[in-house]
Amino acid sequence: MEPSRETKESSPAAVDGARPFQQLQQKLKAEAATIGVVGLGYVGFPLAVEYAQAGFETIGMDLDPERVRRLNEGDNYNEDLSDDVVQRVVSADMLLAEDDFERADDVDVFFICVPTPVTEHNEPDTSYIESATRSIAEHLRPGQLVVLKSTTYPGTTEEVVQGILEEAREDLQVGRDCFVAFSPERIDPGNEKYTTANTPVVAGGVTANCTALTKQALHQVVQEVHTVSNPKVAEMEKLLENIYRSVNIALVNELAQLTERMDEVSIWEVIEAASTKPFGFDAFYPGPGLGGHCIPVDPHYLSWLAKRHDFETSFITLSARVNEEMPFHVCRSVTDAIAHQPVALGDATVLILGVAFKANVGDTRHSPAGT
């Protein structure tokens, strides 16, 4: 039988092993911990800048040499970050980037922020998490905390991250010597009101020590950290957030298609009217389909996991079907409109305004405009 979380940490071996825990606690308290951010994209780059701004020496690690070069030159490539801030933390030597994990030994707290796409069969592709964890595993030492932030299916942190780290260093016990947790990312590119500091985050560690250290590390840059009993709960809650959006967007997309067939009923007026209810209703708006790295992808992670539990997630399947159909619905509507114009379909030129998945962002991944 697997030892309980409490037994693991209060076992005799843990008594002398309590030192790595306390050492990291002290380092974080003294702002002397070195932060390592693996993956310098939409999630990792802003996180690295936050820690550097908060006074922590921060090392960004990315396989993309172009990103590494630009960051080290203080050349900002994220539209939500201020050029001044990036230049300031880089020139103050608070943030540097590398593509070879050479400085990984110095890192006390790693955040893994690598992509989690799906395969051509819509199954989870955890290969980026695996390769990032392997790179960390080569440098693993007592007193390090590894926090996975990439969105993924419940079980990944323990099966993949903890599994790879324990295989690489059988002498190190997670929860006693080194620490592993999941804390999903909630960054909302383009959102000026909710930033890293004022968006509460969720964290769940493999053991209570892992959770405590993760909470302490996150608290350096985030005001509110909500802890949960294990990584799987944190992984699942992130999927709930994104599936909630996907399902509600699908609902309103379906109603939009219905109202298009009705006389004198505009979906926009309907939503505006429903929004006057101060409780029990959150407005979602129809659109030409889903885009970005999260909402079109993440629900598939849970459908795949559900199959492992011999369970069918009908809401996810249905909402994906409705949302994925939207670009085709838009095309049909445009084709119908052209048919009423004095131009042959083959001669018509269509201008598409807006390629990213939402206003004022540059992320064109999975954009319905490209369907």
Ligand X SMILES: NC(=O)c1ccc[n+]([C@@H]2O[C@H](COP(=O)([O-])OP(=O)(O)OC[C@H]3O[C@@H](n4cnc5c(N)ncnc54)[C@H](O)[C@@H]3O)[C@@H](O)[C@H]2O)c1
CA–CA distances in Å: residue 355 to residues 171, 176, 250: 50, 48, 20
Residue 80 interacting with ligand X (CB under 6 A): no
The answer to whether 366 contacts ligand X (rule: CB under 6 A) is no
Site map for ligand X, 118-157, x if CB under 6 A? ----------x--xx--x--------------xx------
Q: Rounded to whole angstroms, how far apart are CA atoms 349 and 337?
A: 13
Name the token pair of 247. Answer: 């399902």
300 near ligand X, rule: CB under 6 A:
no
How many CB atoms are closer than 10 A to CB 237?
16
Is residue 172 near ligand X by the rule CB under 6 A? no
Identify the H or E element spanning 324: helix 314-339
Instruction: Tell me the closest approach of the beta carbon of residue 35 to ligand X, in angstroms.
Output: 15
- Neighbouring C-alpha atoms within 13 Å toward the C-beta of 150: 33
Q: How far apart are CA 269 and CA 140, in angstroms?
A: 57
- Candidates 114-122, 160-168, 303-311, 345-353; binding stretch for ligand X (CB under 6 A): 114-122
161 sits near ligand X (criterion: CB under 6 A): no
Nearer to ligand X, 197 or 345 (CB): 197
CA–CA distances in Å: residue 326 to residues 8, 104, 156, 317: 50, 45, 31, 15
Given the complex with ligand X, which of 232 and 293 has the nearer CB atom?
293
Does 231 bind ligand X (CB under 6 A)? Our answer is no
The DSSP code sequence of 164-187 is HHHHH-TTPPBTTTBEEEE-----
Residue 64 sits in the site that holds ligand X (CB under 6 A): yes
Q: CA nearest 55: which of 108, 104, 92, 23?
A: 92
Question: Is the separation of the CB atoms in 14 and 176 below 8 Å?
Answer: yes
89 binds ligand X (CB under 6 A): no
Tell me whether residue 39 or residue 286 sits nearer to ligand X (CB atom): 39
Which tokens hold the place of 210?
Answer: 């892992």
The C-alpha atoms of residue 274 and residue 285 are separated, in whole angstroms, by 12
Whether the CB-CB separation of 37 and 52 falls below 8 Å is answered with no
Which residue number places its CB atom closest to ligand X?
A: 41
- Our finding on whether 115 is near ligand X (CB under 6 A) is yes
Distance of closest approach, residue 329 Cβ to ligand X, in angstroms? 26
Contact assessment for residue 143 and residue 217, using Cβ atoms and an 8 Å cutoff: no
Instruction: Please name which of 100, 102, 93 lies closest in space to residue 71, comparing C-alpha atoms.
Output: 93
User: If binding means CB under 6 A, how many residues of this protein chain bind ligand X?
Assistant: 27
Least distance from ligand X to the Cβ atom of residue 260, Å: 30
Among 62, 80, 108, 166, binds ligand X (CB under 6 A): 62
Task: Please tell me whether residue 63 binds ligand X under the rule CB under 6 A.
Answer: yes
Share in percent of the chain as helix, strand, coil (round to 5): 45, 10, 45
Q: Catalytic residue at 178?
A: no
Torsion angle of C-alpha atoms 253, 258, 259, 260, degrees rounded to 10: 90
Q: Which is nearer to ligand X, 156 or 173 (CB)?
A: 156
**36: contact with ligand X by CB under 6 A:** no
- Closest approach of Cβ 188 to ligand X, in Å? 7
Among 14, 28, 35, 43, binds ligand X (CB under 6 A): 43
Q: Any contact of residue 61 with ligand X (CB under 6 A)?
A: yes
CB 179 → ligand X: shortest distance, Å?
A: 20
Which of residues 5, 67, 176, 245 is near ligand X by CB under 6 A? 67
Binding residues (CB under 6 A) for ligand X: these are: 38-44, 61-64, 67, 113-116, 128, 131-132, 135, 150-151, 185, 187, 189, 293-294
Active site amino acids? 294
